[in-house]
């Protein structure tokens, strides 16, 4: 079991103490530091490069969203906040999860396990050859091998993603974020076309004039934020 080094950043001392206790209770987490000052925390995170930062959002001088965009690329964020309106924005950065205060240990543990699974998949991908054609994902506690060619598209929920496969009637559901899946799938074959969809480009059957992509029995919309990249892909085909 991989041990993940983590740092806690929150301007509330009681919140820091609670999270320190949660980290201590979790066997695969190791506390590398905890900070009330986000500016000092940023300096320490860059020096220590932990795998995970448990990060508050509303803080003086430097808020958590701003800080998250300055972290080393190897570091992943789990946001801890009392303000649920930040949930949408949190998934546009390198966040693995979003914990709403008051945080229960069960929710903390689920987020930590999500981080552990993400790093396990990342490590497996880095050890495999570049031309790898499959990956393992955890479904109902069991690692399932998924062939990339079998994936039609990936659909994102709040805490989970669903792998829609050509060979299965029901999707495979796993506890990851779209950001994590996007980084694990081959960029030559898969493209994000919407906040909630990553599509297998080789499985696209048609594209409507309205910008809807037909994949299997699904009709997926290409949202404005991803339209330029998708149009560039189409332009290379003709």
8 and 106 belong to one structural domain: yes
Between CA 176 and CA 118 the distance in angstroms is: 7
Between CA 232 and CA 224 the distance in angstroms is: 13
205 and 148 belong to one structural domain: yes
Between CA 156 and CA 176 the distance in angstroms is: 9
Q: Are 4 and 27 in contact (CB under 8 A)?
A: no
Tens digit of each residue's pLDDT (9 = 90 or more) over 1-48: 689 999 999 999 999 999 999 999 999 999 999 999 999 999 999 999
**Among the listed residues 194, 176, 186, the one whose alpha carbon sits nearest the alpha carbon of residue 113:** 176
> Which range of residues forms the domain containing residue 157?
130-235
18 and 116 belong to one structural domain: yes
Q: What is the mean pLDDT of residues 154-171?
A: 91
DSSP letter for each residue of 152-206: EEEEE-SS-EEEEETT-SS-EEES--HHHHHHHS-TTTEEEEETTEEEEGGGEEE
pLDDT of 145 > 50? The answer is yes
Give pLDDT, residue 48: 96
Give pLDDT, residue 94: 60
Q: How confident is the model at residue 131 (pLDDT cuts 50, 70, 90)?
A: low
* pTM, two decimal places: 0.62
42 and 143 belong to one structural domain: no
119 and 147 belong to one structural domain: no
Element (H, E) at 13: helix 13-25
Between CA 29 and CA 166 the distance in angstroms is: 37
Give pLDDT, residue 106: 96
Tens digit of each residue's pLDDT (9 = 90 or more) over 187-207: 889 999 998 999 999 999 999
* Total domains present in the chain: 2
171 and 212 belong to one structural domain: yes
Q: What is the mean pLDDT of residues 133-139?
A: 86
108 and 208 belong to one structural domain: no
Give pLDDT, residue 200: 96
Q: How confident is the model at residue 93 (pLDDT cuts 50, 70, 90)?
A: low
Q: How confident is the model at residue 225 (pLDDT cuts 50, 70, 90)?
A: confident
Give pLDDT, residue 182: 85
Q: What is the average pLDDT score of the chain?
A: 88
Q: What is the mean pLDDT of residues 104-118?
A: 92
Q: Is 56 exposed, middle or buried (0-12, 13-18, 19+ CB in 10 A)?
A: buried
Residue 196 is part of a domain; what is its CATH number? Answer: 2.40.50.1020
Last-in-domain residue among 107, 126, 145: 126
Q: Which two tokens stand for residue 190?
A: 């898969």
């Amino acid at each position: 079991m991989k041990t993940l080094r983590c740092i806690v950043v929150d301007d509330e001392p009681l919140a820091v103490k609670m999270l320190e206790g949660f980290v201590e209770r979790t066997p695969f987490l190791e506390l590398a530091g905890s900070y009330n000052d986000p500016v000092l925390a940023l300096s320490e995170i860059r020096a220590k490069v932990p795998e995970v930062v448990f990060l508050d959002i509303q803080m003086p001088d430097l808020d958590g969203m701003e800080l998250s965009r300055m972290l080393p690329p190897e570091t992943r964020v789990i946001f801890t906040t009392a303000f649920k309106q930040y949930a949408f924005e949190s998934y546009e950065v390198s966040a693995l999860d979003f914990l709403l205060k008051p945080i229960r240990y069960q929710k903390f543990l689920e987020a930590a396990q999500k981080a552990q699974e993400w790093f396990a998949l990342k490590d497996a991908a880095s050890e495999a050859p570049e031309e790898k054609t499959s990956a393992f994902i955890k479904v109902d506690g069991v690692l399932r091998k998924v062939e990339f060619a079998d994936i039609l598209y990936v659909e994102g929920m709040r805490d989970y993603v669903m792998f829609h496969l050509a060979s299965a009637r029901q999707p495979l559901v796993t506890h990851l974020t779209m950001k994590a899946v996007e980084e694990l799938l081959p960029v030559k074959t898969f493209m994000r076309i919407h906040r909630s969809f990553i599509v297998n480009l080789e499985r696209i059957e048609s594209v409507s004039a309205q910008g809807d992509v037909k994949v299997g029995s699904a009709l997926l919309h290409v949202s404005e934020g991803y339209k330029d990249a998708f149009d560039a892909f189409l332009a290379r085909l003709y």
